[in-house]
């Protein structure tokens, strides 16, 4: 068990700036492993990691799987569709069954907020939250922080605005806590119907207009607009959303400084973000994906509590 993070990573809320910085510092050199011809180090050899996905996910699951495999862990993917209620087996039973098979770590994605913590409290294995309901998605938050740090340097005093459906976004919450822990100024921007009612109490600035957010920010993290939000009556139409809140190159042209553009993916081009912005010079969206693997390797490494020094790992030395 790692003394740095404790047993699990269920969220960035509650982590200190120092802890987060350490994770990012560990992730930085691990990026290089993925650039090698032989993308493998033996760090987690012999460890069993279960990727337990109760919700469909391509990007996050693949990113975790690459991270695990490049560190030589044995991985099993368990995909379970359907809601937890309609499923015969409860989450606690699933957890106990996995534990009975003597595993070391569980990476869990679940539709219910709190599911990762629930699991973490009931099994001895390390639990990594790969997204729980509308609560947190800590590794996404970390890879966003790493990407920002690479471009902006130290984040203290930097201004990051999270744009879109903050109400239903686990990515937004992890970013808010992580950015604040590192001393950044955080804002959110979106229709009021897609922001939590108590957003002011989260210590963030609120912009009602995207133009004002663009004027203020050093970076925009643009959230995916889930199509079901329209059916849920939160916004009238995707078309109007794009017209009022869409990040377009015309709007960015009015910015006082060059803005970094982040998006956790998958993008709805032409809805929350226009293609020329997504593919433009200020987009760091693919850097985020690359950093995702490194950050997840770092979290796996730190939770596994490896004794080997980081230098050894980066060199490909024995675990």
The residues that touch other proteins, with contacts defined as CB under 8 A, are 13, 84-85, 90-92, 110, 112-115, 117-118, 132-136, 170, 173, 196-199, 201-202
C-beta closer to other proteins: residue 112 or 310:
112
Q: Smallest gap, in angstroms, from Cβ of residue 173 to other proteins?
A: 6
- Rounded to whole angstroms, the Cα distance separating 23 from 310 reads 12
Token pair 């595993």 is found at 103
* Tokens representing residue 213 in the block: 């957010």
C-beta closer to other proteins: residue 115 or 162:
115
C-beta closer to other proteins: residue 31 or 168:
168
- Rounded to whole angstroms, the Cα distance separating 257 from 7 reads 42
> Which are the contacts of 292, defined by CB distance < 8 A and separation ≥ 6?
59, 60, 63, 139, 140, 143
- Rounded to whole angstroms, the Cα distance separating 299 from 87 reads 30
C-beta closer to other proteins: residue 2 or 84:
84
Count of H-run helices and E-run strands, the chain: 13, 9
Q: Smallest gap, in angstroms, from Cβ of residue 34 to other proteins?
A: 31
Token pair 């995707």 is found at 238
* Residue 138: C-alpha distances to residues 8, 25, 42, 122, 203 (Å): 11, 16, 25, 20, 19
Q: Smallest gap, in angstroms, from Cβ of residue 227 to other proteins?
A: 18
C-beta closer to other proteins: residue 179 or 298:
179
Full DSSP string of 33-98: GGGSSS----TTTT-EEEEEESS--SHHHHHHHHHHHHTT-EEEEEE--S-TTTSSS-HHHHHHHH
Strand duo 105-110 + 126-132: pairing: parallel
CB 262 within 8 A of CB 285: yes
C-beta closer to other proteins: residue 83 or 275:
83
| 148 SS3 class | helix
C-beta closer to other proteins: residue 198 or 254:
198
Q: Smallest gap, in angstroms, from Cβ of residue 152 to other proteins?
A: 26
């Amino acid at each position: 068990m790692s003394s740095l993070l404790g047993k699990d990573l269920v969220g960035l809320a509650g982590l200190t700036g120092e802890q987060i910085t350490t994770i990012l510092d560990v992730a930085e050199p691990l990026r290089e492993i993925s650039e090698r011809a032989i993308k493998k180090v033996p760090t987690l050899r012999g460890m069993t990691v279960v990727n337990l996905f109760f919700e469909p996910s391509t990007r996050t699951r693949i990113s975790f799987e690459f991270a695990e495999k490049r560190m030589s862990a044995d991985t099993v993917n368990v995909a379970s569709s359907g809601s937890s209620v309609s499923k015969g087996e409860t989450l606690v039973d699933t957890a106990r069954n996995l534990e009975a098979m003597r595993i070391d770590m569980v990476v869990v994605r679940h539709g219910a907020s709190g599911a990762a913590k629930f699991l973490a409290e009931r099994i001895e294995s390390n639990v990594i939250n790969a997204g729980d309901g509308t609560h947190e998605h800590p590794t996404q938050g970390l890879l966003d922080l790493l990407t920002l740090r690479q471009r902006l340097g130290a984040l203290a005093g930097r201004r990051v605005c999270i744009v879109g459906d903050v109400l239903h976004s686990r990515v937004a919450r992890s970013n808010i806590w992580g950015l604040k822990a590192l001393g950044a100024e955080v804002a959110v921007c979106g229709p009021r119907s897609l922001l939590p009612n108590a957003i002011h109490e989260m210590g963030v600035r609120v912009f009602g207009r995207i133009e004002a957010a663009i004027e203020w920010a050093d970076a925009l993290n643009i959230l995916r607009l889930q199509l079901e939000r329209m059916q849920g009556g939160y916004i009238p139409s995707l078309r109007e959303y794009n017209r009022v809140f869409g990040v377009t190159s015309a709007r960015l042209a009015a910015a006082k400084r060059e803005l970094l553009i982040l998006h956790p993916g998958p993008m709805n081009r032409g809805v929350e973000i226009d293609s020329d912005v997504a593919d433009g010079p200020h987009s760091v969206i693919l850097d985020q994906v690359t950093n995702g693997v490194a950050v997840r390797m770092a979290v796996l490494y730190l939770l596994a509590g490896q004794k080997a020094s980081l230098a050894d790992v980066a060199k490909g030395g024995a675990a």
